[in-house]
């Protein structure tokens, strides 16, 4: 594999005990109500202190960073993505299609993915996320055509190279067209092969506890592409190894009709029947639930990854986010794949969530702070991470910092609101685990122009066949 960014071994955290005061930001959103007007102290990869207005740190510091021109937020957390899809953005045959025809046209293209394609696609997706202030990303990779059996291994290497955190889900498809499913046979695997590789990946890569960099989850793709047997077996394996579960559910009415016709069940009933109605599970999209189903999801603690841009792009519908939250469902944000969003930008996703949910619930109920909360603390809860998503002592030092000195912000007054209302689309600085990964709007060590050139060539070749 080519080196598109340096190994993280060349970018070590500051020495143990070293204290960096990120001082007096223009504004700070902590996602928990704490006052961080005076900034933060970072030490040992964690937040050591949150400094209030007009105050200094309680203990001496070794270094300062003047954040007077920056809005400070927790690192954004992306709960649902398909990294490989960066190679099929804005592809004209599906530019105006809804989910099922969109998939049917794209499956044969995606079946041609090579390991090099996936490396480039993953690097592009993660770089774009990082530049948007995202420090942790969940990817749902379910395509394992011949020659791409080591897809998750490739993704692990890229995540480590860029110095981010990721929940990489070992996705799967086992219900092909020959058996009444949607995907072509060349993209499906047997349940035995899926489980064997899933167990290998958990054993090799899954990290537990606070500060984990790589986590593995199990992620049969959807009711229309996976057998009931694979769903049940994945739930059993997830419980055995104490890892999380992920799938698409209730994204479209077509999916609901499929479940009724094939299983005689609505989507949440089906989820329950295969052992997935649990706090271990988070669902991609989660749009078409009735009141009783929302209550059942909340009682179970099952989480939802809200993907507003993708839902609008494919005309899938609008998730009932406030009702989900009121029922006890953890809700976070996901950019979804870059073939149904056509970007991998988390700060723009928070803006889209703000506007889409205001159409349903009104402006007073959906504040800028609430939308940023979905992108930070809410998303961390969805992934089962209590150590991420907020600025508080003891949390991981994963931070995003945005400047408001472009024309789009001129005349703005509230810096927190300006991030979303004025359309911030890139971070100036990003820190992961106490290490700066983005400085002055550029990823440390990444040849971005070279990546774009190679990625674009791969995209052209892929769609050409």
How does DSSP assign 131-194, residue by residue? HTTEEEEEEEE----TT-TTHHHHHHHHHHHHT-EEEEEEEE----GGGT-SS-GGG---HHHH
Place of tokens 């993505």: 81
> Comparing C-alpha atoms, which of 98, 157, 89 is closest to residue 126?
157
Note the pLDDT tens digit of each residue in 366-390.
Answer: 999 999 999 999 999 999 999 999 9
Q: Return d(Cα 371, Cα 389) in angstroms, integer.
A: 13
Tokens describing residue 283: 């669902």
Residue 407's pLDDT is: 98
> Comparing C-alpha atoms, which of 403, 383, 401, 405 is closest to residue 391?
401
- Contact status, residue 20 vs residue 62, Cβ threshold 8 Å: yes
What is the value of pTM for the model shown? Answer: 0.96
> What percent of the chain stands above pLDDT 70?
97
> Comparing C-alpha atoms, which of 315, 323, 309, 190 is closest to residue 254?
315
- Contact status, residue 153 vs residue 421, Cβ threshold 8 Å: no
First to last CA, the chain: 23
Q: What angle do CA 185, 191, 197 make, to 5 degrees?
A: 105
Residue 48: φ, ψ to 5°: -90, -35
Q: Identify the structural domains of the chain with CATH numbers, from first to last.
A: 10-75+396-443 (2.30.40.10), 76-382 (3.20.20.140)
Does residue 1 have a pLDDT over 60? no
Note the pLDDT tens digit of each residue in 82-138.
Answer: 999 999 999 999 999 999 999 999 999 999 999 999 999 999 999 999 999 999 999
Beta strands in 15-84 (DSSP E): 20-23, 27-28, 39-43, 46-51, 63-66, 70-74, 76-78
206-223 average pLDDT score: 97
Handedness of CA 402, 404, 405, 409 (dihedral sign): positive
Note the pLDDT tens digit of each residue in 120-133.
Answer: 999 999 999 999 99
> What percent of the chain stands above pLDDT 90?
94
Q: What angle do CA 308, 310, 313 make, to 5 degrees?
A: 110
Does residue 2 have a pLDDT over 50? no
32-59 average pLDDT score: 98
445-463 average pLDDT score: 98
Tokens describing residue 218: 């199990």
Secondary element (H or E) of residue 439: strand 435-439
List Cβ neighbours of 6 (8 Å cut-off, separation of 6 or more). Answer: 161, 444, 445
User: What separation in angstroms does the CA of 189 have from each of 51, 192, 232, 279?
Assistant: 53, 8, 16, 27
Average pLDDT taken over every residue of the chain? 95
Phi-psi region of 423 (alpha: psi -120 to 50; beta: other; left: phi over 0): left
Beta strands in 262-368 (DSSP E): 281-285, 303-306, 331-333
Q: Return d(Cα 172, Cα 189) in angstroms, integer.
A: 7
307-312 average pLDDT score: 98
List Cβ neighbours of 460 (8 Å cut-off, separation of 6 or more). Answer: none
* CB atoms near residue 421 (< 10 Å): 16
Handedness of CA 119, 120, 121, 123 (dihedral sign): positive
3-state percent helix, strand, coil for the chain, nearest multiple of 5: 40, 20, 40
* Residue 14 banded pLDDT, cuts 50, 70, 90: low
Residue 89's pLDDT is: 98
Tokens describing residue 405: 């000195």
Q: Return d(Cα 256, Cα 55) in angstroms, integer.
A: 55
Tokens describing residue 447: 């040849």
């Amino acid at each position: 594999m080519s080196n598109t960014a340096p190994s993280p071994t060349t970018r070590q955290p500051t020495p143990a005990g070293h204290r960096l005061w990120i001082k007096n930001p223009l504004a700070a959103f902590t996602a928990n109500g704490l006052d961080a007007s005076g900034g933060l102290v970072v030490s040992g990869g964690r937040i050591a202190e949150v400094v209030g207005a007009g105050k200094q740190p309680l203990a001496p510091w070794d270094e300062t960073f003047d954040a007077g021109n920056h809005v400070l937020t927790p690192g954004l957390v992306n709960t649902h993505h398909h990294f490989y899809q960066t190679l099929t953005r804005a592809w004209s045959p599906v530019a105006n299609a809804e989910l099922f025809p969109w998939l049917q046209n794209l499956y044969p293209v995606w079946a041609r993915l090579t390991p090099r394609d996936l490396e480039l696609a993953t690097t592009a997706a993660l770089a774009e996320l990082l530049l948007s202030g995202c420090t942790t990303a969940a990817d749902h990779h379910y395509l394992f055509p011949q020659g791409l059996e080591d897809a998750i291994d490739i993704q692990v290497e890229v995540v480590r190279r860029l110095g981010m955190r990721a929940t990489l889900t070992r996705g799967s498809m086992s219900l092909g067209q020959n058996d009444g499913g949607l995907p072509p046979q060349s993209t499906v695997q047997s349940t035995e092969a899926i489980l064997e590789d899933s167990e290998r990946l958990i054993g090799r890569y899954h990290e537990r506890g606070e500060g984990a960099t790589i986590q593995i989850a199990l992620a049969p793709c959807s009711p229309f592409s996976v057998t009931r047997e694979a769903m049940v077996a994945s739930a059993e394996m997830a419980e055995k190894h104490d890892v999380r579960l992920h799938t698409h559910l209730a994204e479209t009415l077509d999916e609901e009709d499929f479940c009724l016709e094939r299983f005689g069940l609505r989507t949440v009933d089906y989820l329950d029947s295969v052992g997935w109605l649990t706090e271990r599970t988070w669902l991609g999209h989660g749009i078409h639930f009735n009141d009783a189903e929302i209550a059942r999801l909340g009682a179970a603690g099952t989480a939802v990854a809200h993907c507003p841009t993708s839902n609008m792009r494919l005309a899938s519908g609008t998730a009932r986010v406030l009702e989900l939250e009121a029922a006890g469902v953890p809700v976070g944000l996901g950019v979804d794949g870059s073939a149904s969003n056509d970007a991998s930008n988390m700060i723009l996703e928070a803006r889209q969530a703000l506007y889409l949910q205001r159409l349903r619930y009104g402006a007073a109920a959906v504040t800028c702070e609430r939308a940023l909360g979905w992108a930070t603390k809410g998303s961390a809860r969805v992934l089962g991470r209590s150590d991420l998503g907020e600025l508080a002592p003891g949390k991981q030092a994963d931070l995003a910092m945005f400047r408001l000195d472009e024309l789009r912000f001129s005349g703005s007054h509230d810096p927190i609101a300006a991030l979303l209302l004025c359309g911030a689309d890139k971070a100036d600085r990003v820190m992961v685990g106490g290490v700066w990964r983005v400085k002055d709007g550029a990823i440390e060590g990444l040849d971005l122009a070279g990546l774009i050139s190679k990625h674009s060539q791969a995209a052209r070749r892929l769609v050409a066949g």
